[in-house]
Amino acid sequence: MSAEPLVIAQNLCASYGEGDLRVPVLEDASFTVPRGAITAITGPSGSGKTTLLSLVGALDHPTSGRLIVDGEELTAMSRAALANFRRRRVGFVFQAFNLLPTLTVTENVEAGLEPLGLRRSEARRTAEAALDAVGMLELKGRFPHELSGGEQQRVAVARACAKEPPLLLADEPTGNLDEEAGERVLDLIVGSNWAANGDRSVMIVTHDPSVADRAHSVLTLHAHRIDPA
């Protein structure tokens, strides 16, 4: 584990709207995430969990504060640089899977590899290796609507991780799954050393107490603030 944390967040604030209509959604969030660590994020609905992930994942700039991810100061980047950073260095897994419906399983994972600019044959090989790791290689030719929710989410995990990003962000990844399918997805994300391998850090929003047990640290949000540990 390298000494420099993967994520350094200092006094992050986020709000929506302007002037009198301004609604704060995240206030003064400061934390670090070491390389290779799993961080669980919990808190009631509307407390700012998704907002926090979207800042760390370079989807959005904070209103104020400082954010450094993988050695890059996101808060100093242009929109274009932010998008480029996100495509290369962040993998996302969403509650609703978000696979592209017109692409096969393999093509969905290949789409996640696009930012790397691999040759076609290498992209195929890399995608299939990721599908094998999540137990989905046999169904590689199917379309998303031909898969169960759990299967779709395992493909989404493969898509997020195939490019080997240093940071994997998962936002309630088991929220739409039954217990058994959810457990299998969690095993991939926080349990099996596949997603959380080597230097890769994982930040996962979840209400599942078993994830908090397996995480290296837990950030609890309440009314837009991180609870003191």
| Residue 125 neighbours by CB under 8 Å, 6+ apart | none
Rg of the chain in Å (alpha carbons)? 17
Is 61 a binding residue for ligand ADP by CB under 6 A? The answer is no
Per-residue interface string for the shown chain with Mg ion, residues 7-46, x marking contact by CB under 5 A: ----------------------------------------
Estimate the crossing angle of helix 105-113 against helix 149-161, to 10 degrees: 30
Q: Is 16 in the site for ligand ADP (CB under 6 A)?
A: yes
Q: Is the dihedral of CA 49, 22, 58, 151 positive or negative?
A: positive
Does residue 174 bind ligand ADP (CB under 6 A)? no
50 is an interface residue for Mg ion by CB under 5 A: yes
Minimum separation from the CB atom of position 116 to Mg ion (A): 29
Distance CA(146)–CA(9), nearest Å, equals: 41
C-beta of 211: minimal distance to ligand ADP in Å?
16
Q: What end-to-end distance do the CA atoms of the chain give, in Å?
A: 23
Cβ proximity to ligand ADP: between 29 and 105 the closer is 29
Smallest distance, Mg ion to C-beta of residue 182, A: 17
Cβ-contact 38, 202 below 8 angstroms: yes
We find the least distance from the C-beta atom of residue 171 to Mg ion, in angstroms, to be 6
Residue 89 touches which of ligand ADP, Mg ion, none (CB < 5 to 8 A by kind)? none
- Which residue from 224, 122, 135 is spatially nearest to 185, judged by alpha carbons? 135
Q: From the list ligand ADP, Mg ion, none, which binds 104 (C-beta under 5 to 8 Å, kind-based)?
A: none
- The region that residue 46 occupies, defined by phi over 0 for left and psi between -120 and 50 for alpha, beta otherwise, is left
Residue closer to ligand ADP, measured from CB, 95 or 210:
95
Residues in 38-57 that interact with ligand ADP by CB under 6 A: 43, 45-51
CB of 16 to ligand ADP, least distance (A): 3
Interatomic CA distance for residues 167 and 181, integer angstroms: 23
Choose the one of Mg ion, ligand ADP, none that binds residue 108, judging by a C-beta under 5 to 8 angstroms depending on kind: none
Geometric angle at alpha carbon 164, from 37 and 179, rounded to 5°: 65
| 106 interacts with Mg ion by CB under 5 A | no
Specify the residue, 147 or 156, whose C-beta has the smaller distance to Mg ion.
156
Residues that bind ligand ADP (CB under 6 A): 16, 23, 25, 43, 45-51
